[in-house]
Structure 1
Amino acid sequence: MGQSTRNISKIGCGMVSAMGQSTRNISHIAVNACLYPLCAIHGKAVTTIEGIGSTKTKLHAVQERLAQTHGSQCGFCSPGMVMSMYTLLRNNPKPSTDEVLSAMEETCVDVLDIDQS
């Protein structure tokens, strides 16, 4: 088996973007690559964790904050958390706490310990 030439963390989550037919607005949705059908991305832009920043170029602010606050999880969950937050911020640059919690709800729920009291 040949060695991969790509330097990616894990095959995992990303963001799919599409322009609305009537509104001409671009919408962004966070997706789990393992659950999102390949045919569903036809004609859409796909952004992965490698596309928003890296240690070789510059980390995105979401990646930087996750690292600074020791918020990382496993190699699958961390990219998913970053992409969920990145997608939320692309759609809403000033989200409420409830919107943040909702965005993170689908990302490795079993490992997140979020106190909502």
Structure 2
Amino acid sequence: MIERKNLRYTVIASTPDGGSTFTEAEIGLAERTLAVGVPAMAVGDMSSTAGAAYLRSEGFDSEPHPAPARQWVVMLRGAIEVTTTDGECRRFAPGDVVLAADTEGRGHTTVAVGEPPFEALFIPTAS
């Protein structure tokens, strides 16, 4: 039997003053069999729409920007540092999940750090 756990992720959220900040959230995981003959796994649902994108960049250093769409960012390779307008900076590395939800206002900055390339999946959310 799989122990029920939650997947913790970070949200980059817009603030009422047009800035951005980090918050924490969780996706509930439950034991589920996905296919006959495959052992049950801890599975959590993530809302999404069509159009996931794979990104690879040798260098990434952005100007302040809002997220182009509300989207999941699943880190695959390399690391990035994201700074919100309240001055907080966080590093995200392979296996980290971020919900970029600051689609309005001044947004955030993103810088690739460490050994290139930076690789991630961007998955637009349904809500």
Q: Same fold, TM exceeding 0.5?
A: no
* Alignment TM-score, normalising by the size of structure 2: 0.30
Structure 1 or 2, whichever has the larger Rg, is 2
Structure in which a larger fraction of residues adopt helix: 1
Higher strand share: 2
